[in-house]
Chains A and B, each alone.
Chain A
Amino acid sequence: DQQVKQNSPSLSVQEGRISILNCDYTNSMFDYFLWYKKYPAEGPTFLISISSIKDKNEDGRFTVFLNKSAKHLSLHIVPSQPGDSAVYFCAAKGTQGGSEKLVFGKGTKLTVNP
């Protein structure tokens, strides 16, 4: 049961253009959402997050949008740079049965072409 879904395994964009990575979740218990970036041979690193009380959070070139009614979030990277090429994981956090859970999607591999 995949509670956090990233339906696009890969995405390729041109340098300078916008990259849009999508994520869907199924469980209403999630109230905090995060994006992690992972380079090969390294662990994931935190990129940006958003609380369920907001619908947008911006940090430099990165913006995360949350649509609670659709249970959908997206990460926008503008403008995209070759150094952004990595695997991006969407993660959702919530509390169930008194226990906090952080559930990751399978990741989307972003390639930014020069």
Chain B
Amino acid sequence: DSGVTQTPKHLITATGQRVTLRCSPRSGDLSVYWYQQSLDQGLQFLIQYYNGEERAKGNILERFSAQQFPDLHSELNLSSLELGDSALYFCASSVGGTGPYNEQFFGPGTRLTVL
């Protein structure tokens, strides 16, 4: 158990809909990262928040947005869903925001299925 929690574990929805994925970081961690893992892709970095502020952006679509709240939990919002958005979405957390030794701890993921 990494200490990072994600809800829900599974989500099934239809195209065009909007969903919210939630992540609670490890106690004491200030950074939250979101990743997408599609069937034939490695982990694709989406976005990072550090202490409530956006720190880094990766391959995140404009239809997707995220935020980190004062209690440090984070939400990833996915809207106008398409079939290709079906994937595993992982959240990770770390103590700091940058640095080579800033180890990330991953949650169990949310499996999103868009029908």
What residues of chain A have their CB less than 8 Å away from a CB belonging to chain B? 4, 6, 31-32, 36, 41-46, 49, 51, 89, 91, 93, 95, 99-107
Residue in contact with B108 in the complex, picked from A42, A49, A95, A102, CB distance below 8 Å? A42
Interface of A is mostly: strand
Residue in contact with A101 in the complex, picked from B56, B92, B97, B106, CB distance below 8 Å? B56
Q: Which of B12-20, B35-43, B72-80 contacts A (4 or more CB under 8 A)?
A: B35-43
State the interface size on chain B (CB cutoff 8 A). 28
Flag whether B100 is at the interface (Cβ < 8 A). yes
Flag whether B32 is at the interface (Cβ < 8 A). no
The residues of B that contact A99 with a CB separation of less than 8 Å are 55-57
The residues of B that contact A31 with a CB separation of less than 8 Å are 100
The residues of A that contact B33 with a CB separation of less than 8 Å are 102
Say how far A94's CB is from chain B's closest CB, in angstroms. Answer: 9
State the CA gap A6–B98 with chains docked (Å): 25
State the CA gap A100–B101 with chains docked (Å): 12
**Contacts A43-B90, A44-B90, A45-B2 given: A102-B104 contact, CB under 8 Å?**
yes
State the CA gap A45–B98 with chains docked (Å): 19
Q: Mark B25-53, 1 if CB is under 8 A from A, else 0.
A: 00000000101000011111100000000
The residues of B that contact A107 with a CB separation of less than 8 Å are 42
Residue in contact with A104 in the complex, picked from B2, B42, B103, CB distance below 8 Å? B42
Verify B107–A43 contact, CB threshold 8 A. yes
Can you add 17 more A-B contacts, CB < 8 Å, to A102-B104, A105-B42?
A4-B42, A6-B42, A32-B101, A42-B109, A43-B4, A43-B90, A43-B92, A43-B107, A43-B108, A44-B90, A44-B106, A45-B2, A49-B103, A99-B55, A100-B98, A101-B45, A106-B42
